[in-house]
Amino acid sequence: AQSVSQHNHHVILSEAASLELGCNYSYGGTVNLFWYVQYPGQHLQLLLKYFSGDPLVKGIKGFEAEFIKSKFSFNLRKPSVQWSDTAEYFCAVNARSGYSTLTFGKGTMLLVSP
């Protein structure tokens, strides 16, 4: 079974600061990796996903994530955050050859102050 750890439960940043949210997963096989975002009062939306190929993936709204296989990590980054990035961010994983169901981390609540 897979598991996902997001080490930061709450992050507070000022606008224009750089962001990096950590995500580590545990699974012995090949995985697909996802970052979802949940803005206040809204549904979960896919930010970006990694299946294979270039380990640096770019998503919507200027977010990117890097897959480092040796570290079992898939950290989310953004060079300069905006107040509108205030949201909860979830890292998720599933097994490439298994079911499509997702295993989520506990989430990181990001608060960006103007």
Residue ranges in contact with another protein by CB under 8 A: 32, 36, 42-46, 49, 51, 90, 94-107
**SS3 state at 68:** strand
Sole residue written with tokens 């977010």: 63
Among 107, 114, 108, 98, which Cα is nearest to 31's? 98
Q: Which is nearer to another protein, 25 or 90 (CB)?
A: 90
What is the 8-class DSSP label of residue 87? E
CA distance 46 to 68: 20
The distance of closest approach from Cβ of residue 11 to another protein in the complex, given in angstroms and rounded to an integer, is: 17
Q: Which is nearer to another protein, 8 or 103 (CB)?
A: 103
Q: Which is nearer to another protein, 28 or 114 (CB)?
A: 28
CA distance 64 to 74: 10
Q: Which is nearer to another protein, 2 or 17 (CB)?
A: 2
